[in-house]
Amino acid sequence: MTKLRIRISVLVLITVTILATSPTISKGETIPTPQSEEKFINKKIQGYNFAATVTAKKDDRAQLLKKFLKKNRSPMANDATKLVKIADKYNLDWKLLPAIAGVESQYGNMVPSGSYNPYGWNNGKAYFQNWSDASETVALGIRTRYVSTGIVTPYKIGPSYAANPAWASHVANYMHQIDQI
């Protein structure tokens, strides 16, 4: 029983050490290298030697999304950074809102004039001040109306969000396309 407690304590200590030394968690700073930075952690705990490698990758989601939206001639491309931040704020997959916009409006290319409603929100009748306003409203709506807690997927929200039973698979397909950039 004592050995089990020691092992658990060691695992907890290693996890805390890794998290505490992670540049993205402990300091909240941008990683200085373009791709990744590796930190090697060696600890001797109660006679045991432990080594761990922590690799942090640069968060390039906004650049990837902007590239994807530009490729699709989306007027939303310049708001890619805001889209990622909004998704993070509401604990949504960063590809979900752009994928919905892809299905509903060809990434904002087919919206009622001046509506800034690429999501077909309120059956396409909602009008917003700009793309970010629309994204903020829809993200909040998805989080509160459809899935208040847990992981949000197109398949969870599809039956309520859209009348078309194929809607969720189309959104999932666009999310996959964004992932391939």
Residues 128 and 163 in one domain: yes
Q: What is the model's pLDDT at position 117?
A: 98
CB-count exposure of residue 165 (10 Å: 0-12, 13-18, 19+) = exposed
Is the torsion defined by CA of 77, 81, 86, 87 positive or negative?
positive
Residues 33 and 52 in one domain: yes
Contact 98, 174 (CB under 8 A): yes
| H helix or E strand, kind and range, residue 13 | helix 2-21
**Is residue 37 pLDDT above 60, yes or no?**
no
Contact 171, 97 (CB under 8 A): no
CB-count exposure of residue 124 (10 Å: 0-12, 13-18, 19+) = middle
Q: Which CATH number fits the domain that encloses residue 168?
A: 1.10.530.10
Work out the pLDDT band at 29, boundaries 50, 70, 90.
very low
CB-count exposure of residue 63 (10 Å: 0-12, 13-18, 19+) = middle
Q: What is the model's pLDDT at position 92?
A: 96
Residues 11 and 47 in one domain: yes
Answer with the residue of higher pLDDT: 46 or 93.
Answer: 93
When divided into structural domains, the chain yields a total of: 2
Residues 72 and 125 in one domain: yes
Token pair for residue 98? 């752009």
Residues 87 and 144 in one domain: yes
Token pair for residue 28? 């909240």
Residues 47 and 69 in one domain: no
**Is residue 33 pLDDT above 70, yes or no?**
no
Residues 111 and 163 in one domain: yes
Residues 30 and 111 in one domain: no
Q: Distance between CA atoms of 103 and 18, rounded to whole angstroms? A: 41
CB-count exposure of residue 73 (10 Å: 0-12, 13-18, 19+) = exposed
Residues 28 and 110 in one domain: no
Mean pLDDT of the chain: 84
| H helix or E strand, kind and range, residue 65 | helix 61-71
Q: What is the model's pLDDT at position 171?
A: 98
Q: Distance between CA atoms of 90 and 82, rounded to whole angstroms? A: 12
Token pair for residue 4? 């089990």
Range of the domain at 34: 2-57
Residues 85 and 131 in one domain: yes
Q: What is the model's pLDDT at position 58?
A: 85
| pLDDT tens string 38-63 | 555 666 666 666 666 667 778 999 99
Residues 130 and 164 in one domain: yes
